[in-house]
A and B are shown apart, each in its own frame.
Chain A
Amino acid sequence: QKEVEQDPGPLSVPEGAIVSLNCTYSNSAFQYFMWYRQYSRKGPELLMYTYSSGNKEDGRFTAQVDKSSKYISLFIRDSQPSDSATYLCALVEGTGANNLFFGTGTRLTVIP
């Protein structure tokens, strides 16, 4: 069983839609939760970062963590074609370089 499970999609939505991207995990030791965005032929870039249960908002993006259910989500409001990318969740367990576990990514396309 993988440490982090993420639906690969692809996910296609019309412009202006609300997008929900999700990851589940099995290890309750994960402490920090991140979302990366990766455009085609580019490296992943850090989008959102949180370390507690609840919601964190940044513009059109909201990261949600439910530690009791071992479930994290990224919501995108008023989605734009420029949001078309692959979104990867990443979870941090404790300390050390081997402590970061990535989901496989969900490919999102926002159709104008």
Chain B
Amino acid sequence: DADVTQTPRNRITKTGKRIMLECSQTKGHDRMYWYRQDPGLGLRLIYYSFDVKDINKGEISDGYSVSRQAQAKFSLSLESAIPNQTALYFCATSADDRGRYFGPGTRLTVL
């Protein structure tokens, strides 16, 4: 089984809808992250959490919110989706400041 799983893998939604992307991990890491990937812009950090009671904004948090339900679960919500939030979204975990272990990604399209 994969160490980091994401659901759904693909999602098409309409402008203004609220959607949630979910992430689960079995690596036992305390640190979890949400990134988005856009062509030409690379990976950008949206939110991160160092433990269940810790939530921090990343580089591009506007329009997003997160919830850390347990050490192994970290979800990302788009409160009111807009077309420029169309992107690949990756959840990641880490044990320290260095490497990240990424999930398989969610391809989100906002029409």
Contacts and interface: CB of A to CB of B under 8 A. Distances in A.
B31 interface: yes
Given A42-B105, A43-B104, A105-B42, A49 B56 contact: no
A43 B43 contact: no
A43 B58 contact: no
B4 interface: yes
Interface string A58-96: 000000000000000000000000000000101010111
Interface residues of A, number: 24
B50 A97 contact: yes
Main secondary structure, interface of B, reads strand
Nearest to A2: B42
B58 A102 contact: no
B102 A44 contact: yes
A41 B37 CA distance: 12
A98 B58 contact: yes
Contact of A104 (B4, B41, B97): B41
A68 to B, nearest CB: 22
Main secondary structure, interface of A, reads mixed
Contact of A100 (B40, B56, B100, B105): B100
A8 B104 contact: no
Contacts of B99: 34, 46, 49
A97 B103 contact: no
Contact of A49 (B42, B98, B104, B105): B98
Interface of B: 4, 31, 33, 40-43, 45, 48, 50, 56, 58-59, 90, 92, 97-105, 107
Task: List 7 A-B pairs, minimum CB-CB distance, nearest first.
Answer: A43-B102, A104-B42, A97-B48, A102-B43, A102-B42, A95-B97, A46-B99
Interface of A: 8, 32, 34, 41-46, 49, 88, 90, 92, 94-100, 102-105
